[in-house]
Amino acid sequence: QYSKVANNSKELEDCEQANKLGAVNSTLSNQSKEAFIDWARYDDSQDHFCELDDERSPDAQYVDLLLNPERYTGYKGPSAWRVWNSIYEENCFKPRSVYRPLNPLAPSRGGDDGESFYTWLEGLCLEKRVFYKLISGLHASINLHLCANYLLEETWGKPRWGPNVKEFTRRFDPIETKGEGPRRLKNLYFLYLIELRALSKVAPYFERSVVDLYTGNGHEDAESKALLLDIFRDTKSFHMHFDEKSMFAGDKKGAKSLKEEFRLHFKNISRIMDCVGCDKCRLWGKLQTQGLGTALKILFSEKEIQSLPENSPSKGFQLTRQEIVALVNAFGRLSTSIRELQNFKVLLQQTR
């Protein structure tokens, strides 16, 4: 109701002054804004074993994996070797003086066929040996995909893809690789067991009703989740799982330091994958690296997964859509490698 008292100019001035003095100054310097972005990026990366791309970046691109199968692209030679050489040399806890077998970028080794490398490897702690075997297994798996889906012929614009036995032999035959091929394949099986174990461990995270594989289609969401839970049930039925409890089991301070070193080395590998010159090779290399990184994140978060609330959002452990896609597709690629390996065994028997 109108009154002279309500329009007292002194009270209006006091009110304006109170608002002015009590207001929050929300201006920020550009330096502070950049610092906050760095903080958020750092906080988000603490539990990750791989570099996750920023999906909101203008440089990011969505692709249909079904339209871009992993297969031979012609990307080989010095460029490809430099990428893998960087991964092994910078991240596998290896001194420069110890040369990997059959590495064309290494200096001449004289009469040493790589035995000094394996002598050195056996002297490492379990965790560092595991790290090398994971990278070797990933390398072997990718090579198997290229051998199994090789460009055999290209006539009149109609390419013919299929298994290349000669290429498989060159990369994995015991004689041609001086005993190195079987070691690579053994590491492939080891990697398969690691990711299989991760799938069985992460099941409780997805079994909760609050987890929804959202695509915008309710029927497809429910069907996708049911299929994923079926896979988890199958992994649990396997009785020869890798036992990760022996890893990082030393004194707490040393184990924590080694685990962090392990994580940082693996993150660096996902950065190196960005240097791959072939787009399709980079796509599948990054996806499988992220899948392995997600598997490691799961294995080292068992307590957090077990203590997740049933009917409320996750606290302490969370998987992004990108990590879920990478985890499932990377395991799919490893499963394909195992299957293709059996196919090559049959083909090799037929050619003898």
Q: What's the alpha-carbon Rg for the chain, to the nearest Å?
A: 26
| Contact (CB, 8 A) for 336 and 145 | yes
> Looking at 50, 92, 147, 281, which residue is catalytic?
281
327 occurs within a structural domain? yes
| Active-site residue flag, 281 | yes
224 occurs within a structural domain? no
Report whether 71 belongs to an annotated binding site. yes
13 occurs within a structural domain? no
pLDDT in tens, the chain (352 residues): 445 555 556 555 655 655 555 555 556 667 766 765 665 555 455 566 666 776 677 777 778 888 888 888 888 888 888 899 999 988 888 888 888 888 887 776 666 666 788 889 999 888 899 999 999 999 999 999 999 999 888 777 788 889 999 999 999 999 999 899 999 999 999 999 999 999 999 999 999 888 888 877 888 889 999 999 999 889 888 877 788 777 877 778 888 888 888 888 888 888 898 888 888 888 899 999 999 999 988 988 888 888 888 776 667 788 888 899 999 999 999 999 999 999 999 999 988 7
Domain count, the chain: 1
**How crowded is the C-beta side of 199, counted as CA atoms within 13 Å?**
29
Residue 156 DSSP class: T
231 occurs within a structural domain? no
Structural domain boundaries enclosing 289: 73-101+113-202+238-301+316-351
141 occurs within a structural domain? yes
Report whether 119 belongs to an annotated binding site. no
Report whether 84 belongs to an annotated binding site. yes
- Residues 152, 318: Cα–Cα separation, whole Å: 43
Residue 193 DSSP class: H
pTM over 0.75: yes
**In 3D, which of 137, 203, 206, 120 has the Cα closest to residue 172?**
137
191 occurs within a structural domain? yes
158 occurs within a structural domain? yes
| Active-site residue flag, 50 | no
CA 53 to chain centre: 12
23 occurs within a structural domain? no
Report whether 307 belongs to an annotated binding site. no
